Amino acid sequence: MSQTLSNSRSLNMIEALREAQDIMLERDEDVVIYGQDVGYFGGVFRVTAGLQEKYGTSRVFDAPISEGGIVGTAIGMAAYGLKPCIEIQFADYIFPAYDQITQEAARIRYRSNGQFTCPMVIRTPTGGGIFGGQTHSQSPEACFTHVSGVKVVIPSTPYDAKGMLITAIEDPDPVIFLEPKRLYNGPFDGHHEKPLVPWSKHPDGHVPEGYYTVPFEKAEVRRPGADVTVLAYGTMVYVAEAAAEEMGIDAEVLDLRSLIPLDLETIISSIKKTGRCVIVHEATLTGGFGGELAALVQESAFYHLEAPVLRVAGWDTPYPHAQEWAYLPSPRRVGQALRDVMEA
């Protein structure tokens, strides 16, 4: 955890995200929240539960089942000075709004020569691990890291989720805020057969009361090590930690937290120390953000590498329902990559 304060208490990621929105609704009258079922019902994962009752239907409200319409209206609101924080029910559903995000929201600052900005947040649950099948389990982050003009962040703890969402709402430019749904109620180390450990029993579940922010451009060293650097984000942070422990390898695990902007300085500093690098993400391998990370490592730290950079990712198939645990990177698969890079 980034910070320990006397006034912290245990929250899961859902509660932390809800608290961030509650704080910003109270602090800034320009903040509005809407999306499918986020008002009266409180969202499919209950992230906005109780906010409409507290702040009214003009600031927290439901939208039609039209992702393009939700994002398009948010862009208009943002251009006129409001700060919409909208929810796309699952990241898999974001593609009908892709044109609005990439051609409008991402370009407003540039095309207006800085006269307009687009202070909006698109919250959306991402990733697998909940038996959601092919249309409720995808990880589309690389589709947005390719687009100049948007920020892309993925918290992995309740502490980061709250602080980074507040940072996102205050940011003058559009932020894609991806929430690993497998982490909503507790950390997941890839061992699906074991009982869930709730955030209340995990040190990273302690969240300070009130307002605080977590900067986007700073990765966190989740596990110090000297032999190999593991770059991960979201759920895969915990899978990487489990793999390192089970293999007995002195791996340094970095939680990137923010993909755009990216903390390249911390990444390269770690690799200069370890000389080896393994990249882990649950999105499909081909075209995944891991390829960009591997290129950056090669360009910036080539002469410090003692072995080729290895990637562990989802397979190049639609996300399967019946074979979910064969698709999702596991401690065994990550552990094999760690062993291979150490023996190379």
Q: How far apart are CA 169 and CA 72, in angstroms?
A: 17
Beta strand 206-208 with 251-255: parallel, antiparallel or unpaired?
unpaired
Catalytic site residue from 136, 206, 304, 321: 136
What token pair was written down for 37? 């079922």
Beta strand 151-153 with 258-260: parallel, antiparallel or unpaired?
antiparallel
Q: How far apart are CA 27 and CA 16, in angstroms?
A: 17
Alpha-helical segments (H) within the chain: 13-27, 51-55, 67-79, 98-99, 108-111, 141-145, 158-170, 236-247, 264-274, 289-301, 324-327, 331-343
Of 184, 149, 153, 147, nearest to 167 by C-alpha is: 153
Residue 202 bears catalytic tag = no
List strand residue ranges (DSSP E) for 107-164, in order.
Answer: 121-126, 151-153
Evaluate whether 185 touches 202 at the Cβ level (below 8 Å). no
Give the active site residues.
136
